[in-house]
Amino acid sequence: MTGFVDLYTEGDTFLHRMDPRVKIVAVLFISVLGFILQNLTSLLILLVLIFLLLFLARASFSRTMFALKFVLRFMILIIVLWPIFDPSGLPVLATLGPVKITEPAIWRGVTSAARVGCLATVWYILMFTTSQRDLVRALVKLGLRFDFGLTIAISLRFLPTFSALYDSIKDAQKARGLELERGSVLRRGKSYLAVLVPTVVSALRTADTLSLALQSRAYGASSKRTYLRELRMRRSDGVALGVVVAILVVPALARLVFQVPI
């Protein structure tokens, strides 16, 4: 279950060591690039580059498959559904009542799927090479208000806790004869109430205690916050940023200014 919540995998590759701010900027840039590129070939080249990064970051195959399983299903859905709902273009390959399958529509579907693949994989790389603490720290350094950063960090931190809590409560109610998988939808909904109410009450109690704990450690005593760990840009981070900017700017210029159809 925690795999869902935190994709981060310990590692010591250059992607793990990179300044998280650079990584966030890089991911944003590559996402923008994914939208700028319209040509299937260029998108596939981008996808290959992204997978190369995945490989360089020593992503474990099984974890990657687990994380990207849902994206893969989504991509297949796009490829299947796109031609069905997009009757434009010629030549028409098949007609089935009101449904017209055209060759350009098929390619458009594949292109969109490739785009989704690029975006998902690049964000996945960010999530699995950057710990949540670093991510939040970088966001705060990039200008996010500190309280918001803390809120995000705490929410992320408590997701696995609440998931364990939920499981425990489900067991407790099962021990009282609750059967969650039986009965009509309405009855099942009512059954889940027996699990949800204690979960919410416990969560609220936890939140209450947590806020007291924060206050007792003088949270918010001084408006200017200091940091135990400062983020520092190293030369390699500068180089990486330069490369990323180039990766975005060159194709963007080529397409938007010089009208190269990529």
Q: Give min distance, CB of 19 to other proteins, in A.
A: 39
Cα(first)–Cα(last) distance of the chain, in Å?
41
Give the binding-site size for other proteins (rule: CB under 8 A).
19
Is the CB of 11 or the CB of 198 nearer to other proteins?
A: 198
Is the CB of 184 or the CB of 222 nearer to other proteins?
A: 184
- Determine, following the binding rule CB under 8 A, whether residue 252 of this chain makes contact with other proteins: no
The token pair at 68 is: 């990207």
User: Is the distance from CB of 125 to CB of 20 less than 8 angstroms?
Assistant: no
Q: Give min distance, CB of 182 to other proteins, in A.
A: 9
- Determine, following the binding rule CB under 8 A, whether residue 174 of this chain makes contact with other proteins: yes
**Binding flags for other proteins, 182-221, as an x/- string (CB under 8 A):** -----------xx--xx--xx--x----------------
Binning the chain into helix, strand and coil, the percentages to the nearest 5 are: 70, 5, 25
- d(CA 120, CA 128) in angstroms, rounded, equals 12
**Binding flags for other proteins, 104-133, as an x/- string (CB under 8 A):** ------------------------------
Of 130, 107, 103, the C-alpha closest to 24 is 130
Collapsed DSSP state (helix, strand, coil) of residue 74: helix
Is the CB of 65 or the CB of 164 nearer to other proteins?
A: 164
- d(CA 59, CA 9) in angstroms, rounded, equals 8
- d(CA 228, CA 221) in angstroms, rounded, equals 16
- Determine, following the binding rule CB under 8 A, whether residue 169 of this chain makes contact with other proteins: yes
- Determine, following the binding rule CB under 8 A, whether residue 171 of this chain makes contact with other proteins: yes
Stretch in the footprint of other proteins (CB under 8 A) among 98-106, 114-122, 161-169, 227-235: 161-169
Burial 163-192 (b: 16+ CB within 10 A, else e): eebbeebbeebeeeeeeeeeeeeeeeeebe
Q: Give min distance, CB of 196 to other proteins, in A.
A: 8
Q: Which of 41, 155, 168, 209 binds other proteins (CB under 8 A)?
A: 168
- Determine, following the binding rule CB under 8 A, whether residue 175 of this chain makes contact with other proteins: yes
- Determine, following the binding rule CB under 8 A, whether residue 1 of this chain makes contact with other proteins: no
Write out the DSSP string of 136-165.
HHHHHHTT--HHHHHHHHHHHHHHHHHHHH
Q: Give min distance, CB of 170 to other proteins, in A.
A: 9
Which DSSP letter does residue 130 get?
S
Residues that bind other proteins (CB under 8 A): 165, 168-169, 171-179, 193-194, 197-198, 201-202, 205
